[in-house]
């Protein structure tokens, strides 16, 4: 999705602070919008300590992994990253695939920007990955742009406001699309859920492309635009238990990568062997990091845009 109203991320902080100070003195709807969508609202200031206090438990300890070329291998995780280009001219599409096989599903973890939970708190994917010693990471669902959705991360409940179609990762390695409004975070944790994502839509279910996905609107509110059309994308696919594919598609860069429609993304995920697939935050936020390096080329400029969270595998 696109959030082009004000700059975000570490570089934009000073600009945002100045604009906020001016607008808040003016009052009215604009001041409300800045407060809602720009100003940081920290609800938990030390996520690591919070998770420890909640006794999430069950997480696998990082193994003695090694990186050989574009592959990371440890006793409980194998990650192989590859780059692909299709089409030509203005129809060229460049995308990146991480094939991930786990022996312990809890090796796939989540982390928040600046180790804080709340709204509008952002950092680059590479920065969050470095803070958490991640060998592999992608941007998450940008939970911090909204105050709805079920947010369970690393076995701990952070938010229980069911609103949309979510994705649940279970401790046994299964992954399921589910209706957030038909359950609770407490029940999901009791059922063995380790992480949830709240964005969408689901792209594939039972190996079939979901009808109507090109017409879906996500977060069509202040400072945000449609996710329809050919766009940069991030998606997760499920090949089998503990076998996942993560895809980042570059876009909005004619001649380098035009991006994909939602249906095009679903077709790509199916071609990679996924039977279930789910769309995450896209646009300038679509980023993949491996072994400390930014793998893709966001918007053809190589500059990351801040996001609120990542999914990652620690070294």
Q: What is the DSSP letter of 241?
A: T
For residue 76 the two structure tokens come to 């409980």
- Rounded CA separation 37/217 (Å): 18
DSSP for 17-35? HHHHHHHHHH-HHHHHHHH
Percent of the chain exceeding pLDDT 70 equals 84
Lowest-confidence range among 62-76, 217-231, 277-291, 292-306? 217-231
Cα separation of 189 and 307, whole Å? 25
* Secondary structure (3-state) at 37: helix
Task: Supply the mean pLDDT for the chain.
Answer: 88
- As a whole number, mean pLDDT of residues 75-79 equals 96
- C-alpha 110/C-alpha 153 separation (Å) is 6
What would the two tokens of residue 164 be? 């949309």
> 3-state class of 107 per DSSP?
helix
Question: Phi then psi for 127, rounded to 5 degrees?
Answer: -70, -45
pLDDT at position 28 is 66
The sign one gets for the Cα dihedral 47, 48, 54, 58 is: positive
Give the pLDDT confidence score for residue 37 in this predicted structure.
Answer: 64
Domain residue ranges of the chain, discontinuous segments joined by +: 13-314
Cβ atoms of 250 and 286 closer than 8 Å: yes
- Split at pLDDT 50, 70, 90, the class of 35 is confident
Residues sharing a CB contact under 8 Å with residue 191, sequence separation 6 or more, in sequence order: 170
Residue 251 exposure: Cα atoms within 13 Å on the Cβ side? 24
CA separation (Å) from 6 to 62, 222, 305? 38, 11, 12
């Amino acid at each position: 999705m696109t959030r082009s109203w004000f700059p975000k991320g570490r570089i934009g902080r000073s600009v945002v602070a100045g604009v906020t100070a001016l607008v808040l003195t003016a009052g009215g709807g604009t001041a409300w919008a800045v407060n809602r969508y720009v100003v940081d609202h920290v609800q938990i200031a030390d996520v690591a300590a919070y998770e420890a206090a909640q006794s999430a438990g069950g997480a696998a300890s990082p193994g003695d992994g090694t990186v050989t070329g574009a592959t990371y291998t440890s006793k409980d995780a194998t990650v192989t990253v590859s780059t692909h280009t299709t089409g030509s001219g203005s129809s060229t599409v460049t995308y990146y695939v991480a094939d991930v096989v786990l022996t312990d599903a809890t090796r796939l973890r989540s982390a928040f920007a600046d180790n804080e939970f709340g709204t509008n708190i952002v950092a680059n994917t590479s920065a969050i990955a470095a803070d958490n010693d991640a060998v592999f990471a992608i941007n998450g669902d940008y939970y911090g742009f909204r105050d709805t959705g079920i947010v369970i991360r690393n076995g701990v409940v952070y938010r229980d406001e069911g609103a949309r179609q979510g994705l649940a990762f279970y401790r046994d390695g299964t992954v399921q699309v589910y209706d957030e409004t038909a359950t609770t975070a407490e029940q999901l944790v009791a059922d063995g859920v380790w992480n949830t994502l709240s964005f969408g839509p689901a792209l594939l279910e039972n190996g079939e492309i979901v009808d109507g996905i090109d017409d879906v609107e996500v977060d069509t509110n202040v400072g945000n635009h449609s996710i329809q059309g050919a766009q940069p994308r991030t998606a997760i696919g499920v090949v089998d238990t503990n076998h996942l594919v993560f895809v980042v598609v570059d876009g909005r860069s004619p001649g380098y990568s035009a991006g994909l429609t939602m249906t095009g993304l679903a077709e790509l995920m199916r071609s990679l062997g996924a039977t279930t697939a789910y769309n995450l935050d896209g646009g300038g936020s679509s980023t993949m990091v491996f072994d400390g390096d930014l793998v893709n080329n966001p918007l053809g400029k190589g500059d990351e845009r801040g996001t609120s969270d990542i999914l990652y595998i620690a070294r």
